[in-house]
Amino acid sequence: SQKIEQNSEALNIQEGKTATLTCNYTNYSPAYLQWYRQDPGRGPVFLLLIRENEKEKRKERLKVTFDTTLKQSLFHITASQPADSATYLCAGNNNDMRFGAGTRLTVKP
Amino acid sequence: DAGITQSPRHKVTETGTPVTLRCHQTENHRYMYWYRQDPGHGLRLIHYSYGVKDTDKGEVSDGYSVSRSKTEDFLLTLESATSSQTSVYFCAIQGGDVNTEAFFGQGTRLTVV
């Protein structure tokens, strides 16, 4: 079956460090991958989109990569801050939009 | 904020009763999605729509049906609610193709007792 997996359920890092989150997909070839942030009690909010023919995308402190050989996307937050603490979700798009289970990031001061 | 609203926001219902959740958008977006979110499972796709009267099943469609008779409304129906359908339900909308960001509603917390 088609799967999008985020390997880490939780990630704890120190303020100022770079957080790296992983998203893998199997039996699936998404044309696009998207990353969302979700805070408790709220709906997800869009962060970045990357197409399968793009290697890397950046937006301020955020960077996302897409490796179709490894079937993997990496999401980086540089110079992390406690305000970055949230759950981060990756989603694959073909005709529909499917999500991984999410990684709960905690940035400690 | 994108114009998407879900109703009701909270509902408690009894096992075996039918329940309908509504997603309403004012953005004229083509794609609409229904997800459920449970601890440890993230967002799981129930059904989606790519146009009026055009719908398809997602990963966890058993026990759910949908209808989209006009662009702005996407209804999710639990024909006979079960306790396993207790969850938070999110609706999302997406523009002309899947190469655009999606916007989510506030969520509906459904409890089946």
Task: Kindly give the parts of chain B with pLDDT less than 70.
Answer: 1, 96-99
Q: Which two tokens stand for residue B106?
A: 């506030």
Nearest CA to A19 among A87, A91, A71? A87
pLDDT of residue B111: 98
Nearest chain A residue to B1 by CA distance is A45
pLDDT of residue B72: 97
CA distance B107 to chain A (A): 7
A42-72: pLDDT as tens digits: 999 999 999 989 989 999 999 999 999 999 9
Nearest chain B residue to A92 by CA distance is B98
A13-30: pLDDT as tens digits: 999 999 999 999 988 888
pLDDT of residue B97: 65
CA distance B90 to chain A (A): 7
pLDDT of residue A8: 84
Q: Which two tokens stand for residue A94?
A: 């073909």
pLDDT of residue A88: 97
* Confidence tier at A100 by pLDDT (50, 70, 90): very high
Contacts 24+ apart (CB under 8 A), B12-15: B12/B110, B12/B111, B12/B113, B13/B81, B13/B110, B13/B111, B13/B112, B13/B113, B14/B81, B14/B112, B14/B113, B15/B81, B15/B82, B15/B83, B15/B112, B15/B113
Q: What is the mean pLDDT of residues A79-92?
A: 97
